[in-house]
Amino acid sequence: MTSRPVTFLSRAEAILGTREAQSVDQGMRHLTEMRDVAVAEFPIMDALRDRARVIRLHALANLDRLLSHFADQVIEQGGEIHFAADAEEANEVVARILEATGSRLVVKSKSMVTEEIELNAHLERRGIEVVETDLGEFIVQLAGDTPSHIVTPIVHLDRHDIGALFAEKLGVVETVDPTELNQIARDHLRQIFLRADAGISGVNIAVAESGSVITVTNEGNGRLVTTAPRVHIALLGMERIVSRWEDASVILEVLARSATGQRLSTYTNVVTGPRRDADEDGPEQLHVVVIDNGRSQILGSDTAEILACIRCGACLNVCPVFRTVGGHAYGTVYSGPVGSVVTPGLLGMEPWWELPYASTLCGACEEICPIRIQIPSMLLKLRARAAAEGRLPGWLERGIRRYTTTVYTPTKWERAKRLAHWITGPISRDGWIRRLPGRGSGWTAYRDFPRPARESFNTWWRFNRGS
């Protein structure tokens, strides 16, 4: 992934207080409200979340065998399978398939993994035209921008931005009416769908038993991309798989509800091989590209559980940090809580060690996750890794070491507690510290801190309960 090696804080500060930040916050609140309604309405949601977790962890624990079975089945159903160790290999495989099939115009439906490997840029260098068809991604492509959220990529743009963009790039009369904007996009893209040589899609979940790949969309572009052109290329991260169709159905039931509050996405498209002989339509060729690109490293690490993610985006929607700064602050395609674990895993700790610190550890992400992934504990593991690698600033490193020795030595600890009470006398009122000086003012801008008591609990206990 190309990423911006500027710090998280500076990227975040650039966005704070802007209209983009406000759009993000409103958008995320809306999605979380919708999600809560959908979950409350569905009596078996919690049972299915528990089951989804079992299914995904089982898949990770048996990944090699599932992928092997999956590969055999793709071939059995008339498709071709390709395993790519990294981004370069994956891009090369796709480019060669397109060149071998004489494909010059390609339509694409949304796929995080293709953004991760920067597929579009690679294909464009080879003279292949790639058109994004997911409306948000189409707009991002037209604007030369990057998506700011994994599920709602243009939450940072409003109708004025889009109206101006369409007028400029598509030569249409400028409008800010969302219905007209949608119609413009529909008419423009329909021509392209029906003339494209190849369709490239992601995969929401793959099914090992049958070699099936499942994509979900609301717009219908996922269906058109995998039906109209002669060639369909489906790319997936190697972890996005379950054992059987029944298991996939559990994932599907929790996916849309968690993402947008819909019970199911409008189109759940299950593809098993290319068209069969007697079929009326459908692609002649199906190529499935399974991508590693750092996932096997994560699988062998203490953050392996993050690979159970089904990319619903709920953790982004609920995260107070994400709501405040939006997706661009995280610097790569995977943002929010999941991004904070996955990015250091895929791209290494330099400079991504910062991301696990972009969190208050409030735990909202774990609470909302349909797979119940334990994100906060993985953020802590990554922080420990960062500290062990000496990445913390010197003053913090020394401060924590001093704190640790103090806490572990009872006499020092007792003295420190008495000292804390006396020191905070001048800056507290009625037992509360309301304003800390200097950098501490950032903390007290939003919350008060109780003044440490004169008598510590240990002291009280010794007097009132004996030894």
Partner 1 sequence: MVATLPRPPAVPELLPDLEAVDVVGLFRTRAQGESVVVHGPVGRHGVPRAVAGIAAGHGCRAYMAWEDLPVPGVTSALTGAGVERVEHRVPNEMRIPHQTEYQGLDLGVTGADAGLAESGSLVLLHGEGRPRMASLIPEVHIAILDANLIERTLVHWAHRHPGLVFETANMVVVTGPSRTADIEQQVRLGVHGPRHLHVVLFR
- Interacting residues with partner 1 between 266 and 295 (CB under 8 A): 266-276, 278-282, 284
- With the C-alpha atoms ordered 82, 283, 249, 32, is the resulting torsion angle positive or negative? positive
The continuous run of DSSP H or E covering 67 comes out as helix 63-76
Interface with partner 1 in residues 420-459 (CB under 8 A): none
- Please identify which residue in 4, 58, 383, 421 interacts with partner 1, judged by CB under 8 A: 58
- Please identify which residue in 44, 173, 388, 445 interacts with partner 1, judged by CB under 8 A: 44
Give the nearest distance from C-beta 194 to partner 1 in angstroms. 4
Interface with partner 1 in residues 173-212 (CB under 8 A): 178-179, 181-182, 185-186, 189-191, 193-195, 207-210, 212
Give the nearest distance from C-beta 42 to partner 1 in angstroms. 7
Judged by CB under 8 A, the stretch of 56-64, 90-98, 117-125, 407-415 that binds partner 1 is 56-64
Which whole-number Å values give the CA distances from 166 to 147, 149, 162, 170, in the listed order?
Answer: 17, 21, 6, 5
Other beta carbons within 10 Å of 170: 12
Note the helical H segments in 144-244: 159-170, 178-195, 221-225
- Terminal-to-terminal C-alpha distance of the chain: 60
Interface with partner 1 in residues 3-42 (CB under 8 A): 26-27, 30-31, 42
How many chain residues are in contact with partner 1, going by CB under 8 A? 94
307 in contact with partner 1 (CB under 8 A): no
Give the nearest distance from C-beta 80 to partner 1 in angstroms. 15
In the complex with partner 1, which residue's Cβ is closer, 45 or 349? 45
Residue type, 148: S
In the complex with partner 1, which residue's Cβ is closer, 8 or 166? 166
- Nearest CA to 83 out of 96, 68, 98, 73 is that of 68
Judged by CB under 8 A, the stretch of 14-22, 227-235, 368-376, 393-401 that binds partner 1 is 227-235
In the complex with partner 1, which residue's Cβ is closer, 60 or 362? 60
Helix, strand or coil, per DSSP, at residue 117: coil
**Dihedral of the CA atoms 133, 134, 136, 137 (nearest 10)?**
-60
- Please identify which residue in 4, 14, 36, 77 interacts with partner 1, judged by CB under 8 A: 77
In the complex with partner 1, which residue's Cβ is closer, 96 or 195? 195
Residue type, 240: R
Interface with partner 1 in residues 132-171 (CB under 8 A): 133-136, 139, 152-155, 158-159, 162
Judged by CB under 8 A, the stretch of 245-253, 344-352, 431-439, 450-458 that binds partner 1 is 245-253
- Please identify which residue in 165, 250, 290, 375 interacts with partner 1, judged by CB under 8 A: 250
- Nearest CA to 148 out of 329, 318, 400 is that of 329
Long-range contact pairs involving 403-410 (C-beta distance under 8 Å, separation at least 24): none
DSSP sequence for 345-388: HHH-HHHHTTGGGS-----HHHHH-TT---HHHHHHHHHHHHHH
